[in-house]
Each structure stands twice: as C-alpha cells, then as structure tokens.
Amino acid sequence: MSREPWVAGIDIGGTTLKAALVDYGGEVGALESTSSNVENLPSFKRSFGGLLAKLGKKVLPGARLAAAGIGCKGVVDTGTSRIR
C-alpha cells in the first residue's frame, strides 16, 4: 500500500463490523470484517479495536488516515447520545 492519505469506511451492523481503507482514487486498499455483539459493550469494544488493528497492519509505516466515516442503523437519542 502507498503512503498516500487513506480514507476509512466503517459499517457497524448488528452482528458484523466491516471496515475498508480506500485511496482518493476510489481503490480499495484493505478490507476487513469481524463478528460483533452490539448489545454487549465490552465485547463490541474488543471487536471494534481488533478490526481497526487488523486494518492498520495493512498500512505502510508513515501512511496517514485523512478521514473516517462510520455508518450504523438507528437514530441518535440526543438526550442520552445513544443510538436506538
């Protein structure tokens, strides 16, 4: 992978987390997925951290992340900051 800036896309699903690194030309440089349990916060955090670690290993030293987008199903409850 090049040292050009990358953009990360992360999809938080009910049972699966997916993440990709994409360059500015739209080419996918890395794609990873793992199972997740959004109902169990400690388990979800481990899954999310592991997914990002796997993705990060595919990037050359010195590469940088320019932006990240995260998608998930639901509506943000502004009173609690939770996704429902």
The CATH number of the domain holding residue 68 is 3.30.420.40
For the chain, the domain total comes to 1
Lowest mean pLDDT among 29-33, 68-72, 78-82: 78-82
Q: What is the pLDDT of residues 5-40, one digit of tens each?
A: 889 999 998 889 999 999 888 889 889 999 988 788
For residue 59, the Cα-to-chain-centroid distance in whole angstroms is: 14
Q: Look at residue 79 and tell me if it is in a domain.
A: yes
Quick one: pLDDT band at residue 59, thresholds 50, 70, 90? Answer: confident
pTM of the model: 0.76
Residue 17: what pLDDT?
93
Q: Look at residue 1 and tell me if it is in a domain.
A: no
- Residues of the domain holding 32: 6-83
Q: Look at residue 60 and tell me if it is in a domain.
A: yes
Percentage of the chain lying above the pLDDT 70 cut: 94
Which residues neighbour 2 within 8 Å (Cβ) at sequence distance 6 or greater?
23, 29, 60, 63
